[in-house]
């Protein structure tokens, strides 16, 4: 069991929201580079926002089946601490950048709808820095779609007998009113939240972020 549940807040588009998240204690901030997302950033926007991420807070760049050249452009210009692959990227595609990465899985999607299939897919990415569990939706990330908790519980049981595997990050429908229950049930390494602390896509609410962080902190202590 982890002594503290870490938190990544994803989908930033405004510098003042990053500043607020950092002040509230966020461990990581996420930048979205998926053209179909309302939170999509240009390279220039991301470079400007990256300058607001201080030491000891990680900047994470999220991609969905992105062309290799675009990922390399973001690596060079934005210099994220972590890459997050949220599509159907193969293990080879995730590794070819020789950069720390997170692999996301849409729990409940075809081929990811049983404990065995979820475990099998996760094990293809043993070198990921974390496995992120998101809810299944036709879109990718930031939809507020929750996953079946029984699948996560089953996966955690399978993983307990393994050594040296990536920790689990839980996403999908995380909100102020349910984060405490999710932490109590799963005791994850980290939580990833986006729409649950927004006024509208890409516009974070400082009050919601503050409440979310307070609920998470209290749940982690119990």
Residues serving a catalytic function are 10, 134
Q: Tokens 């939809």 sit at which residue?
A: 143
Q: How far apart are CA 181 and CA 168, in angstroms?
A: 16
- Upper half-sphere CA count for residue 86 (Cβ side, 13 Å): 30
Token duo for residue 211? 């409440």
Q: Which run of H or E residues covers position 28?
A: strand 28-32
* Ordered alpha helix ranges (H), 79-125: 91-95, 115-122
Name the β-bridge partners of 151. Answer: none
Cα end-to-end span (Å), the chain = 12
Measured distance CA(39)–CA(203) in Å, rounded? 9
Residue 64 φ/ψ region, left for φ over 0, alpha for ψ in the -120 to 50 degree band, beta for the rest: beta
Q: Are 157 and 177 in contact (CB under 8 A)?
A: no
Taking the CB of residue 119, how many other CB atoms lie within 10 A of it?
Answer: 16
């Amino acid at each position: 069991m982890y002594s503290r549940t870490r938190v990544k807040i994803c989908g930033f588009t405004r510098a003042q929201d990053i500043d607020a998240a950092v002040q509230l204690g966020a461990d990581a901030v996420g930048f979205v580079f998926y053209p179909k997302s309302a939170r999509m950033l240009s390279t220039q926007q991301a470079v400007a926002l990256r300058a607001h991420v201080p030491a000891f807070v990680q900047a994470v760049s999220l991609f969905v089946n992105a062309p290799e050249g675009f990922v390399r452009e973001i690596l060079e210009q934005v210099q994220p601490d972590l890459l997050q692959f949220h599509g159907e990227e193969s293990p080879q595609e995730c590794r070819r950048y020789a950069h720390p990465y997170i692999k996301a899985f849409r729990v409940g999607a075809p081929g990811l709808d049983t404990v065995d299939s979820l475990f099998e897919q996760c094990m293809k990415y043993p070198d990921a820095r974390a496995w992120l569990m998101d809810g299944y939706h036709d879109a990718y990330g930031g939809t507020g779609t929750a996953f079946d908790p029984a699948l996560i519980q089953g996966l955690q049981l399978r993983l307990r007998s393994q050594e040296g595997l990536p920790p689990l990050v839980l996403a999908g429908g995380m909100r102020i009113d349910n984060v405490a229950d999710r932490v109590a049930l799963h005791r994850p390494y980290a939580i990833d939240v986006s729409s649950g602390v927004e006024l509208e896509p890409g516009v974070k609410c400082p009050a919601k972020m503050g409440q979310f962080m307070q609920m998470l902190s209290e749940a982690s202590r119990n």
